[in-house]
Structure 1
Amino acid sequence: MSDLNKLGLAEARDALRKGDVTSVELTESCLKAIEDADALNAFVHKTPEIALERAKAADERIKGGDAPSMCGLPIGIKDLFCTKGVPSQAASKILDGFKPEYESTVSQQLADAGAVMLGKLNMDEFAMGSSNETSVYGNAVSPWRRGNDDAQLTPGGSSGGSASAVAADLCLAATGTDTGGSIRQPAAFVGITGIKPTYGRCSRWGIVAFASSLDQAGPMTKNVRDAAIMLETMCGHDAKDSTSAELAVPNFEAMLTGDIKGKKIGIPKEYRMDGMPAEIEKLWSEGAEMLKAAGAEIVDISLPHTKYALPAYYVIAPAEASSNLARYDGVRYGRRAQLAQGDGITEMYEKTRAEGFGHEVQRRVMVGTYVLSAGFYDAYYNRARRVRTLIKKDFEDVFAAGVDAILTPATPSAAFGLGEMTEADPVQMYLNDVFTVTVNLAGLPGISVPAGLDKQGLPLGLQLIGRPWEEGDLLNTAYALENAAGFVAKPGKWW
């Protein structure tokens, strides 16, 4: 079999079980693809020795006949996940040289299931960004191009390296994290599937924190079935994470029947934004028609507090970031600035943080510190928390009225060019999260499914939002949408 790196998880798993291919062959195919794809800057710490060692062990395990679904499958790990003995920098200069002595719970669960780690993937610094342009490693680049235009496009952010690697077939799947849309937006930009599970479904232990009440890990895969397979391995209760839910993890793959007859799908009127491109509007309508044709009932719904979601998010997330990032002070680990004669501890903190954090991280830390300060705590932070409660109640009311899932666009546009949204106006970049942040604020599961191409030949995604803890049902609705959309486009290889 040639081009083994182009397989999805389910196809590769079945080929491994039949003995048509070995994990070592799969892994070598991916490692070669990674070596040939430096132009994408997706893999930033390559671990070929670890990969081949794990692949050999997986082949033995498969021969023994007791291998779980993920056994022997080569994947990439976002640089936000701590991986024992392997650089884990969260794409930041301040964590230069940091090699943890422990493994994150999610990456450990994947390793225990026999998954093969190919290396660490590029991302926005501390997961703060929507375009993968804030990384200490430089920009991750999308494998897609606009027609015959050579301009480099963003793969989205913050999980840009994960998105680029999966879309370019450098790995069979990848881990991502989602604080305000960082799995779903990049997945939509590169034509792959990405699911953010319910808050608490995956352990956050060992994942470098951005905003602790919003962060959630999830898989980024080539299709919905693969997302179901990988998500099941990533989920589960973890005593080391106090926000981790003590709930049984269902067999998500077994729930993919494609039958959504009688399901109620809500279309929120508040997501019809001023200036929304006609192509996004058209795709959204077509998605609703596809679900209707599959037997679902389409109903109009209202989520009245949606318009306050972005401002609330951009108060809460920086506030939690400013608190979480206080630990990076040059004392215990990571980078420490060169000090001048006579400098004391205050100067060490100031210089280390000034040179260690990039501009976007500094901006968010300052905003967060400001909204948490004595005079502004009530005016900003507490008010944002109250708005968050109202947004959560909007969803609860809709689900209580019998709606099973909500269909929205995943992004307000197709992928834009790197450098097109400059630092001059960060708010323009923040608007990229307009359809995704509500899901994090309410702690709900959300999935992005590729559903079409725009007139320039770039992928567009649709988002489905599900009831809490009902990822299986959400994945099944996404599976029906995927089957109806029939999206098979791949980027032309230029790298």
Structure 2
Amino acid sequence: MLDSALEVLRLQTSGEASAVEIAEQAMAAIEASQPTHNAYTHVDRQAAMATAKSVDARRAAGETLGPLAGVPVAVKDVLCTNDMPTTCSSEMLRGFRPPYDATVVEKLRAADAVIVGKTNMDEFAMGASTETSAFGITRNPWDLERTPGGSSGGAVAAVAAGTVPLSLGTDTGGSIRQPSAFCGVTGLKPTYGRVSRYGLVAFASSLDQVGPIAWSAADCALLMNVIAGYEPRDSTSLNKDVPDYTVATQSTDLRGIRIGVLRESMQAEGIDPAVQQAVAHAIGVFAELGAEIIDVDLPHREYWVPTYYVIAPSEASSNLSRFDGAHYGHRADGASDLLSMYCRSRAEGFGAEVKRRIMVGTYALSEGYADEYYNKALKVRRLIRGDYDAAFSQVDLLLGPVTPTPAFRLGDKIDDPIQMYLCDLFTVGANLAGVPALSLPGGFDPSGLPIGIQLQAPTLEESRLFFAGSAFQSLTDYHTKRPNQ
């Protein structure tokens, strides 16, 4: 099982394994896992092996290699790759091959990572269970009858199933953190603008962020070092210096760190007792590490989900208008005129959840309703950001749950959009405020399903998250547990 990127690097530098041998191991793991978990939409064995051979040859020649040399990495199928299809797991883009790479993919290639393929997801990143994919559902490696979460379910399942030590996901309202919690791995949503969105097929442009997924905070920090930074082709990219995030993982002394606990979140209606116990245990661990624990509140927390589910569909309605059968995407056959071609192409190309969100967003933006819905949601969003600013004037980090429950059964919520949307209860706040947030393995429920805990930090303080996350993982072993062990 490919557990750790840091271990993969060590094996190569010590001569215990070559990049080709590691790539072969990854390919064998994917071939064994794919029929069961369906984590991938496309696997490129030929390209992966060619990259691995190049890494070995350059190492033998004494060349300087990138920081991810020979490390297998999977990429969510919402990020453009010029040598592989980018489908967003939708019929609308089935078979589409972009003419360019996303910035984060360019950075992976420059770091000499071995990109093994593209991972399954909820269609156009709209979902919380990876059940809306046109390429079939993805199953949770811990329990095949349960969801891996979404929308980055394939990216997370690829790590949890042991096929790669690192993967890239995207997080618009919790799409890295929620599946990370469901599958017992570590996942980061960075500060908005910290990682370039150039080449990311947009869902909600003011919320989307690309982030790393791995078993440990240390591995996430390694990948974050590669993908973070300014990109002039992305107008929302932050022109700020990027620290070495791996330095933050080398200390476990949290004395002087103030951690705010969202007590009210732990008492929310519908939260599973095992989730409450995991957060309570985490409080004890952080206190043992020297952190000061302070109760805090985010007064507008109850408005997170309704605010998100006005803003995100509104932006989706605008972003997905380009997929009309003429400019981009699937074109229906046999249409008699332009209007019917548009209508039939979108009806055939989009799935039910995408259609639902487009209609909600279009309504919220329509004449006579924009002030009542979209513009009011923007005002509430500013209040939510104010809550975070006030909290971070008192504490260094916020601690709470990631999800109300462990992974639910496949099919349980797919026909109940409201219950599905409530999976985002504790995650959408960070996206609305633009702050970074980290999901850490925090325990297990009585049936053995993973539970995640969430740390949130002020903008551009990912190092603080890696510091606290690594310290937590130095005293706990949840991130070392594997499915079927």
On whether the aligned pair clears a TM of 0.5, the verdict is yes
Cα distance, 1:60 vs structure 2: 2.7
* Residue 302 in structure 1 maps to residue 297 in structure 2: yes
1:417 Cα offset (Å): 1.1
Partner of 2:88: 90
Map of 1:71 onto structure 2: 69
Q: CA–CA distance in 2 between the matches of 1:313 and 1:334?
A: 27
Matched AA of 2:16: D
Query: How big is each residue's C-alpha offset from its partner over 1:21-60, in whole Å with a ceiling of 9 and x where there is no partner?
Result: 1111100001011111121101110100110011111223
TM-superposed CA distance for 1:333, in Å, is: 3.3
Q: Which piece of structure 1 moves more, 269-278 or 217-226?
A: 269-278
1:244-266 superposed Cα distances (whole Å, 9 cap, x missing partner): 01111111001211221110000
Give yes or no for contact 2:191–2:462 (8 Å, CA) kept in 1: yes
Q: Aligned-pair distance for 1:463?
A: 0.3
Match of 2:259 in 1: 265
The aligned amino acid for 1:133 is E
The match for 1:440 among 425, 431, 439 is: 431
Q: What is residue 165 of structure 1 aligned with on the other side?
A: 158
Moved more, 356-365 or 248-257: 248-257
Q: Deviations over 1:434-475 (max 9, x none)?
A: 000000000000000001110010000100001110111111
- Structure 1 segments, 4+ long, off by >4 Å, are none
Query: CA–CA distance in 1 between the matches of 2:458 and 2:475?
Result: 22
Q: Tell me which residue corresponds to 1:148.
A: none
Distance between the aligned counterparts of 2:19 and 2:241, measured in 1? 29
Structure 1 equivalent of residue 455 of structure 2: 464
Is residue 2:147 matched to residue 1:131?
A: no
Aligned equivalent of 1:207: 200
**Counterparts of residues 97-136 of structure 1 (less than 5 Å):** 97-136=95-134
Q: After TM superposition, give the deviation of residue 9 of structure 1 in Å.
A: 0.4
- Aligned pairs for 1:336-415 within 5 A: 336-340=331-335, 343-401=336-394, 403-415=395-407
Preserved contact between residue 62 and residue 71 of structure 1 (Cα < 8 Å): no
Q: For each residue in 1:150-183, what CA deviation from the matched residue of structure 2 results, as whole angstroms up to 9, or x when unmatched?
A: x611000000001111001011111000000000
Contact 1:74 1:171 (8 Å CA) reproduced: yes
Q: TM-score, normalised by structure 2?
A: 0.97
**Correspondent of 1:33 among 2, 25, 29:** 29
Structure 1 position 372, deviation (Å): 0.2
State how far apart, in whole Å, the 1-side matches of 2:161 and 2:458 are.
32
Question: Is the CA contact (8 Å cut-off) linking 1:98 and 1:333 kept in structure 2?
Answer: no
In the alignment, is residue 24 of structure 1 matched against residue 17 of structure 2? no
Task: Check if 1:428 corresponds to 2:419.
Answer: yes
Provide the C-alpha distance between the structure 2 equivalents of 1:247 and 1:12, rounded to a whole number of angstroms. 30
CA contact (8 A) 1:6 1:172 kept: yes
Alignment correspondent of 1:478:
469
Amino acid at match of 2:438: I
Partners of 1:42 and 1:122 within 8 A in 2: yes
Query: Does 2:303 align with 1:311?
Result: no
SS in 2 for 1:118: strand
Q: Is the 8 A contact 2:311 2:374 kept in 1?
A: yes
Query: Structure 2: how far apart are the matches of 1:102 and 1:444?
Result: 29
Work out the CA distance in 2 between the residues paired with 1:19 and 1:69.
Answer: 17
Counterpart of 1:140 in 2: which secondary structure? coil
Matched position secondary structure for 2:300: helix
Of 35, 45, 48, which residue of structure 2 is paired with 1:48?
A: 45
- What SS does the corresponding residue of 1:6 show, helix, strand or coil? coil
CA RMSD of aligned residues (A): 1.1
Unaligned 5+ residue runs, structure 2?
none
- Tell me the distance in 2 between the aligned counterparts of 1:62 and 1:418: 45
8 Å CA contact 1:143–1:168 kept in 2: the answer is yes
- Aligned partners of 2:10 and 2:147: how far apart in 1? 33
Deviation at 1:305?
A: 0.4
- Aligned partner of 2:274 in structure 1 is 279
Shift of 1:65: 4.6
More deviation, 194-203/271-280: 271-280
Amino acid at match of 1:189: F
1:195-233 C-alpha deviation (Å, 9 max, x unpaired): 011000000000110000000000110111000000110
Q: Matches of 2:243 and 2:56 in 1, distance apart?
A: 26
Q: What amino acid sits opposite 2:315 in the alignment? A: E
Secondary structure of the 1:309 match is helix
CA separation in 1, counterparts of 2:255 and 2:293?
11
Q: Residue type matched to 2:256 in 1?
A: G
